[in-house]
Structure 1
Amino acid sequence: MTNNHTQGAATPAAPSGGLPEPTAHCRGHGLHVPTCQKCKEASRRQIDRRRAAVHAWDGHANAASESAEAMTARLIAQIAAGDEPSEEREAAPAEPRSLLAGMFNGAWLDKQVFPPLEWLVEGIVSEGFGLLVGAPKAGKSWMAGGLALACSSGGFALGKIAVKQRPVFYLALEDGPRRLQSRFRTMSEGGPLPAEVHFMITARPNEVPGMIAEFLHLYGYRKPLIILDTLGKVKPPKLAGQESYSADYAMGSKLKELTDSAPGSCLLAVHHSRKAESVDFVDAVSGTQGIAGSADFVLVLSRKRKEDRAVLAVTGRDVPENEYALTADGGRWELDGMDLLDAAATVEKRREAGNLGDRSMDIYTYVMEHGPTTPADVAKALSMDNKLAGNKLAQLYESGRIDKPKRGTYDRIITTAGESGESGETDE
């Protein structure tokens, strides 16, 4: 049988019937090949995973929820239309299956070529299951809305990061249509809202996995962004005798499994942070560590009351860990810097400023801007006492923030290329 499929082919378009091609494929093909039996089997397993994730969501589902899940199972099964098992295959006895059937060795792994990680927002939001965490009223929904608007229109996320257009499914379960319209009109600055963003504002907890499965069934081949706002609105009840950690991890794992059934897609769940202060920002995730442990990446938004500045901490399995400075302008979150690198540097500058009093910060800024400085220079420029200027300069020097090249003169700390490693040269 001749196979005309080639690696690197364009993303398949939805067929005339309105249903997408299956996205699963075998190890030898980069995309689903209808004539390949192994691709068919992979597609069937993909459907089974989606169905299992939906049915396993709530062990206490009532008759109504079972009806919704049955409908979802029927819809997602249509993805395999024309590829149903034959009667002979169904009647054949199942062959014994080894528990090691999925085992592979290092030689096989070394030969594989995997697609690069799909970034929905470079450096911030990747494919998979992620959490956007923050305190109540910190601006999480505004940030989620901004990401939805950018991805559905193909604009700029956080004001600076270019993103490509893709479908977005926003489950805004704590908003009404009026509030949602007002928020999105504000973020779009009065412009028309993109048709690629789709909303749901009401859902029972056990219905949400089915909704996500249906959306992935329709748009999974286009690697969509799905936003669940908030996770607490759909959290299933803990089973009798079940540990809290196990319940949280099971919930997150089912959402991750559902998202992974459509490679390249992302489910970003908005979640509240703990009230208690945490040294490690991942510990800020409300609930047990099971929720954070099941996620591919975690974003934690930290903002003080009545301030328009915030820090977005990012970590994940494949996401570089870092912190980025943000500013809010009329509800719209933007990077405080030209790019991610600059925004990360701004975080350090803010911390440096936070450790100094107002007058010390003014003097530190003056030295950094003007170079070699004497107490008399500072006193004249900042209209302060000469002795006070000298004391403040001495304190800045003793804390290691500025240099003192000679008596009575202070300057910026000059780091040589060899000391910073910026020259790229080594002693070897």
Structure 2
Amino acid sequence: MLSGMVSGAWLDAQEFPPLEWLVEGILPEGFGLLVAPPKAGKSWMVAGIGLACAAGGYALGKIVVKQRPVLYLALEDGHRRLQSRFRTLTEGEPIPNRMHVIISARPNEVPGMIGEFLHLHRTEKPLVVLDTLGKVKPPKQSGQEAYAADYAIGTRLKELVDSVPGSCLVAVHHTRKAESADFVDAVSGTQGIAGSADFILVLARKRKDDQAVLSVTGRDVPENEYALVTEEGRWRLDGMDLVDAAATVDKRRESKSLGDRSMDILAHVMTNGPTTPRDIADRFGMDNKLASNALARLYESERITKTGRGVYDRLPTGGESGESGETDELLQVRA
């Protein structure tokens, strides 16, 4: 009964390889989910990441990735649509030979296909994309609990990828219709699917908006949110790198929390320094009382400071110690 037990001394003596990142900060080794509402662009996203990994280069426009074999199970697309999508994403470059595609499979065939591909490329840390998970979920057996059914398929996929260290299997899935405060709860179905995954990516994007946020969490993955933009199906980080893209999420929220006029007034104060309601009224053609109220709201929200009766100024930036950047950051919100 205790054959699998090990001692603390044994565990302490082990040396394990570091976590393999296929896409730094986004796709680690193991089994994970990419979830988003219909038509949010998740198939374009995984196709772009897959092509970047198959060719070697940059994923999401900014993240350096190593070349590796990729299996894309595009079970909701045909070859013509995939060719068109891939050619758009590669911008005229040849489709990488290390990108392998399957467009048709019965649910019970998919685990075998994934297992065979992983075994064939077991020394190359391959990437497998399953689009979508719903296409391979077997029907719930009579009397079987929904959670158990969901957990079983997730566990099966996890076992496959765990058998090849350094490999990754990401399954595209859809979100619940109901909104949730916790992005992990957005995963459709029971918690069985989310509970079986090593990592979860949730893509939040409003219809017809070119901006989105990718939320990332997992067992061994730092939880974070990254700002993205999309153009003609091509997804890229909204920032120079992951750190910058994470900061962009906060800047977007800051911008949305203020009206356009308030942002203009904030930018004016940050640029010009000491400002009175009369200055704002003259600059923006406003009533003096409205200008006073707008400055007061910015002061109450701790976006500007007050230096005297009716006089407002930019927040201290630590300039005396040679530090700077807060003013520039606030101005970038407006930009």
* TM-score normalised by length of structure 1: 0.72
Which residue of structure 1 lines up, in the alignment, with residue 228 of structure 2?
A: 326
- Offset of residue 381 of structure 1: 3.9
Which residue of structure 2 lines up, in the alignment, with residue 277 of structure 1?
A: 179
Instruction: State the one-letter code of the partner of 2:263.
Output: M
Q: Structure 1 residue 289 and structure 2 residue 191: aligned?
A: yes
The partner residue of 2:163 within 261, 267, 288 is: 261
Report Cα offsets for 1:384-405 as digits up to 9, x if no partner: 3443222211111112222213
What secondary structure sits across from 2:151 in the alignment?
A: helix
Which residue of structure 2 lines up, in the alignment, with residue 251 of structure 1?
A: 153
Judging changes above 3 Å, is the alpha-carbon distance between structure 1 residues 117 and 391 closer, same or farther for their aligned structure 2 residues? same
* TM-score normalised by length of structure 2: 0.92
- Offset of residue 361 of structure 1: 2.1
Instruction: State the one-letter code of the partner of 1:393.
Output: L
Which residue of structure 2 lines up, in the alignment, with residue 182 of structure 1?
A: 84
Q: Structure 1 residue 167 and structure 2 residue 167: aligned?
A: no
Q: Structure 1 residue 123 and structure 2 residue 123: aligned?
A: no
Report Cα offsets for 1:97-142 as digits up to 9, x if no partner: xx21121111111111110000001011100000000000001001
- Offset of residue 329 of structure 1: 1.3
CA distance in structure 1 between the aligned counterparts of 2:32 and 2:267, rounded to whole angstroms: 39
The partner residue of 1:154 within 56, 64, 67 is: 56
- Offset of residue 341 of structure 1: 1.0
Judging changes above 3 Å, is the alpha-carbon distance between structure 1 residues 403 and 171 closer, same or farther for their aligned structure 2 residues? same
The partner residue of 2:245 within 343, 357, 382 is: 343
Instruction: State the one-letter code of the partner of 1:223.
Output: K
Which residue of structure 2 lines up, in the alignment, with residue 41 of structure 1?
A: none
- Offset of residue 345 of structure 1: 1.0
The partner residue of 2:208 within 306, 321, 327 is: 306
The partner residue of 2:119 within 205, 214, 217 is: 217
Instruction: State the one-letter code of the partner of 2:43.
Output: S
What secondary structure sits across from 1:286 in the alignment?
A: coil
Which residue of structure 2 lines up, in the alignment, with residue 135 of structure 1?
A: 37
Query: For this pair of structures, how many residues does the alignment match?
Result: 320
Report Cα offsets for 1:252-310 as digits up to 9, x if no partner: 01100110000000000000000101000000000001101100000000001111000
The partner residue of 1:238 within 136, 140, 152 is: 140
The partner residue of 1:199 within 66, 87, 101 is: 101
Judging changes above 3 Å, is the alpha-carbon distance between structure 1 residues 369 and 144 closer, same or farther for their aligned structure 2 residues? farther
What secondary structure sits across from 2:228 in the alignment?
A: strand
Which residue of structure 2 lines up, in the alignment, with residue 107 of structure 1?
A: 9
The partner residue of 1:364 within 246, 259, 266 is: 266
What secondary structure sits across from 1:175 in the alignment?
A: coil
User: Which range moved further: 234-243 or 377-386?
Assistant: 377-386
What secondary structure sits across from 1:203 in the alignment?
A: coil
Judging changes above 3 Å, is the alpha-carbon distance between structure 1 residues 378 and 257 closer, same or farther for their aligned structure 2 residues? same
Judging changes above 3 Å, is the alpha-carbon distance between structure 1 residues 370 and 127 closer, same or farther for their aligned structure 2 residues? farther
Report Cα offsets for 1:138-164 as digits up to 9, x if no partner: 010011011001111111111111111
Instruction: State the one-letter code of the partner of 1:330.
Output: E
- Offset of residue 225 of structure 1: 0.6
CA distance in structure 1 between the aligned counterparts of 2:272 and 2:74, rounded to whole angstroms: 51
Instruction: State the one-letter code of the partner of 2:197.
Output: A
5+ residue gaps, structure 2, are 325-335
CA distance in structure 2 between the aligned counterparts of 1:289 and 1:191, rounded to whole angstroms: 41
Judging changes above 3 Å, is the alpha-carbon distance between structure 1 residues 112 and 369 closer, same or farther for their aligned structure 2 residues? farther
The partner residue of 2:290 within 370, 380, 388 is: 388
Report Cα offsets for 1:158-195 as digits up to 9, x if no partner: 11111111111000000111111111111111111111
The partner residue of 1:227 within 111, 117, 129 is: 129
- Offset of residue 352 of structure 1: 1.4
Task: Map 1:8-87 to 2 at 5 A.
Answer: none
Q: Which has the larger radius of gyration?
A: 1
